[in-house]
Amino acid sequence: MVSTEDNSAPGAAGGAPSGDVTAETVRRLAALARLTIDDDAIEGYRRDLSSVLRHAACLAEADLEGVEPMARACAEVNRLADDEPGPTLDAETVARLAPAWEEGFIPVPKVLGDTPTDSGEGGS
């Protein structure tokens, strides 16, 4: 879902390929990625992201008509594992790795009633 005041939206007035993002976009991306960015750092990230996205605009100019996207680095298909039980982490190991452990469970703060920081898309 794209916010209307976000001027980096595709087709926005002023020509989309510039790639420039706003401070509001940085805040929204941070919320989607479950990060907090201090107010005094927003401008730096805004400038950095804008610079990289401006560079990426050369992709918009390339002739990619009819080219099949390539998501993986090799043509061979993934190998399937044998459908047989194998070793997994035991509870003791999981307990050792967990930052908190209570009576066989990893405790987390209350989930019910938690208000999401965005409209529900993305997140960790």
Q: How far apart are the first and last CA of the chain?
A: 17
- Spatial neighbors of 86 by CB under 8 A, at least 6 apart, are none
The residue from 4, 74, 91, 103 that contacts other proteins (CB under 8 A) is 74
Token representation of residue 117: 């920081």
59 belongs to the binding site for other proteins (CB under 8 A): yes
DSSP code of 76?
Answer: S
- Report the candidate in 71, 62, 66 with the shortest Cα–Cα distance to residue 17: 62
Rounded to a whole number of angstroms, the minimum distance from the CB of residue 14 to other proteins is 15
Contact positions vs other proteins (CB under 8 A): 1-2, 8-10, 16, 21, 25-26, 29-30, 32-37, 41, 44-45, 47-49, 51-53, 55-60, 62, 64, 67-74, 76, 78-82, 89, 93-94, 96-100, 106, 108-111, 113-117, 121-124
